[in-house]
Structure 1
């Protein structure tokens, strides 16, 4: 059964990465990528902080390698994805905590980390420390709102619990029983 669980996790992660790569450049506003935040939060709630971080990292690397996106694809995603999962776990399953983690992680931490990356590695000297904060916050609020509505609906219908249970390790299920 452990192989089945691992395969399901890999397939689910691959689907999140594929969706993130495809919809992020299509459904975006200049300087904002709200669908990336939707993916980060949803992946964090479904699979946890480690998988959400890995998902954001893979999406960023693929977008940078094949779409010519600057390093913002990484700095603007990985902190929010990880914090979203951590806040969700610490709050014992509160979806709003996952959204808040994304807003703090991407909107503030990721935006500030983007400044030295874009200034020193990308050569953009006209930037200030908080240059990316407004657009990153707006993007996380848009994507976070969509994720909140989606996940609350899934929770109300019981689908969220079914998805989360199907993605849990078989070993943990046996210990809980």
Structure 2
């Protein structure tokens, strides 16, 4: 049974990575990749911070190797994906916390970390410390909004809980609204 759970997690992670690579060019400009944030948040809520970080790193590396994307693919993603999963877990399953984690982690921390990486490692000139903050925040707001709507809809239908149960990836963290709706449904059934 444990092997099948591990296999399911690996297959789900691979699907997130593949989807992330394929949809990342949508609405993409340098410093703004909204679809990556959609994947980061969704993976964080489904599977937790470690898998979200792994997913973000794999997507970033593949995008850099195949699409010629600069290191922004990594610096912008890893902080947001990790913080998204951590805040979702700490908040006991609030989807908005996962979105805020992505906005803070990528939109602010990742954007600031991108400055020295792009200046000193990539050799880009004319940048300032906060150069990437506006575009990173804009990208996280777009991708975060889409993720929020998707995850809230999944929570409302009870699918979010079923997905989390099957993956057992969010350490039994549930969306609070899903719990309330399930109790209401059970009370009506009785």
Q: Under TM normalisation by the shorter chain, which class is it? A: over 0.9
CA distance in 2, matches of 1:168, 1:12: 12
After TM superposition, the structure 1 = structure 2 runs for residues 95-134 of structure 1, keeping only pairs within 5 Å, are 95-134=95-134
After TM superposition, the structure 1 = structure 2 runs for residues 34-113 of structure 1, keeping only pairs within 5 Å, are 34-113=34-113
Equivalent residue number for residue 175 of structure 1: none
Equivalent residue number for residue 178 of structure 2: none
CA contact (8 A) 2:61 2:74 kept: yes
Equivalent residue number for residue 184 of structure 2: none
CA distance in 1, matches of 2:68, 2:28: 16
Equivalent residue number for residue 6 of structure 2: 6
1:31 Cα offset (Å) = 3.5
Equivalent residue number for residue 33 of structure 1: 33
Structure 1 runs, 4 residues or longer, greater than 6 Å off: none
Q: C-alpha offsets along residues 49-80 of structure 1, whole Å, 9 cap, x if unaligned?
A: 00000000000001111111100000010000
- How many residue pairs end up in the alignment? 170
**DSSP-derived class of the 1:26 partner:** coil
CA contact (8 A) 2:103 2:140 kept: yes
CA distance in 2, matches of 1:83, 1:118: 22
CA distance in 1, matches of 2:67, 2:134: 24
1:29 Cα offset (Å) = 4.1
1:26 Cα offset (Å) = 3.2
* Cα 1:29/1:123, change in 2 over 3 Å: closer
CA distance in 2, matches of 1:119, 1:110: 14
TM-score, length of structure 2 as denominator length: 0.87
1:28 Cα offset (Å) = 2.3
Larger Rg: 2
Q: Which runs of 5+ in 1 are unaligned?
A: 173-177
CA contact (8 A) 2:31 2:72 kept: no
Equivalent residue number for residue 179 of structure 2: none
TM-score, length of structure 1 as denominator length: 0.94
Q: Which runs of 5+ in 2 are unaligned?
A: 173-190
